[in-house]
Structure 1
């Protein structure tokens, strides 16, 4: 990357305010690190105060945080109450169940929509009056939207709906830019907390399915989010950070 290009990217984020819901760990925390390195201030949100406090301490004085529950509209509104201007939003916080239509009851099947889709919808809606004229919103989808795994139809549909939401909001909110990032299987914080045998099986299967032959990293997804934050001529798009999984 040329010095001129690096300076241009830095200028796009310098002294900007980036809101990262779920920014206390995983991909969100990686985006926070990159945003701060490029001159931004970050506001982290999440449900666990101790995790937010640890992340803010590690990130330094350009970071602050507050608790938020994206399933609760009042909680989301309170979170934004003391943020006068929002230049970027990225939300990774979600809690849902994945399974087949035959096995899941309605509440469990609806959980990807309630948490992942409506959670992001609530965050964007609460921030509307605080968005700068050239703000960038990045929604979090998943490559299952275009290459469905077996026995997860509601999860597939929720991810596809998020990508549709990005397109719809790009039209409604222009010139604010709205895009989606759609990762494949990522070797990071989420999988680290799961059973080792299940993790190994998932990584092996994904490596066989993806053109690049491996799971992705949190940093690779974070790089894609930063690209969507700073690219002033991309809106209504979905960026598949999936190693070519969606092409096979």
Structure 2
């Protein structure tokens, strides 16, 4: 494994519980972490991505955690919301790759975030399924095009990351845990550990890591 000590890690959309956990874990291993989110970076505006690349300069690792879900029945979806969902998960990462590809030091890596909805679609989650599947496929394509820069995707399952409604999450989590082969929901620490593995394993590229407790199988 490659050590994180002295490496520069950029986390895009890293204000979430998972992003905070990843930043803290990477810093504890000696990485210099730069975390950006809205309103500092607008993934729908290429000029802000270009400016970020110029400001950051050379780096070792980039993680894109950005998401802008467009959930609901497909018959009621708003077109602009669908576009924003693809901007966050697919178009934005393409533009990140465009402007950062030449800035990675040897051994560098990109990690995109997919999600279990791509493998276990549900009513009202068609856009989430499509964007997450696209992110996983994009990681494969970029791994080929940008080689030897490594590119992977990580597909979390249901994670207690602080994003769920407090009023109903206990019942929901209990149901998920009962169904999952792992018999539990995930934690931000679970996802962070897998993300660091994807970033630092020099023989891992073009792969989607499923960190979902087996949820896609249940």
Into which bin does the TM-score normalised by the smaller protein fall?
over 0.9
Q: Map 1:218-237 onto structure 2 (within 5 A).
A: 218-237=188-207
Give the SS at the match of 2:120. coil
Runs of 4+ in 1 over 6 A off after TM superposition: none
Give how far 1:157 is off: 1.1
SS in 2 for 1:139: strand
Matched, 1:96 2:78: no
2:180 maps to what in 1? 210
Inter-partner Cα distance in structure 1 for 2:150 and 2:193? 17
Rounded to whole Å, the distance in 2 between the matches of 1:151 and 1:41 is 39
Aligned to 2:38: 47
Alpha-carbon offset, residue 99 of structure 1: 1.7
Shift of 1:195: 5.2
Residues 27 and 222 of structure 1 are in contact (CA less than 8 Å); yes or no, is this contact kept in structure 2?
Answer: yes
Alignment of 1:108 onto 2:78: no
Quote the offset at 1:214 in angstroms. Answer: 2.0
- 2:125 alignment counterpart: 152
Which residue of structure 2 lines up, in the alignment, with residue 196 of structure 1? 167
Residue number in structure 2 paired with 1:61 = none
Post-superposition offset of 1:203: 1.9
Moved more, 33-42 or 159-168: 33-42
Contact 2:43–2:87 (CA<8 Å) still a contact in 1? no
Query: Do 1:94 and 1:119's aligned partners in 2 also have CA atoms closer than 8 Å?
Result: no
Residue in structure 2 matched with residue 174 of structure 1 by the alignment? 147
How far apart in 1 are the matches of 2:124 and 2:58?
42
Is 1:126 the counterpart of 2:117 in the alignment?
Answer: no
- Shift in Å, 1:154: 1.9
Structure 1 residue 108: Cα displacement: 2.8
1:88-146 Cα shifts (integer Å, max 9, x gaps) = 01111222221221221333334321222222222222211211232111100001111
Give the structure 1 partner of residue 13 of structure 2.
22
Secondary structure of the 1:133 match is strand
Q: Which moved more, 1:233-242 or 1:123-132?
A: 123-132
From 73, 80, 83, the equivalent of 2:46 is 73
Q: What is the Cα-based RMSD across aligned positions, in Å?
A: 1.7
Distance, in Å, in 2 between the alignment partners of 1:168 and 1:156 is: 19
Q: Which has the higher contact order (CA 8 A, sep 6+)?
A: 2
Q: Deviations over 1:188-226 (max 9, x none)?
A: 1322xx3522x3343233223311122100110000000
1:81: Cα distance to partner?
1.0
More helix by share: 1
Gaps of 5+ in 1: 1-8, 49-66
| More divergent stretch after superposition (236-245 vs 94-103) | 94-103
Q: Normalization by structure 2: what TM-score?
A: 0.92
| 2:115 equivalent to 1:142 | yes
**1:56 alignment counterpart:** none
Query: Structure 2: which 5+ residue stretches go unaligned?
Result: none
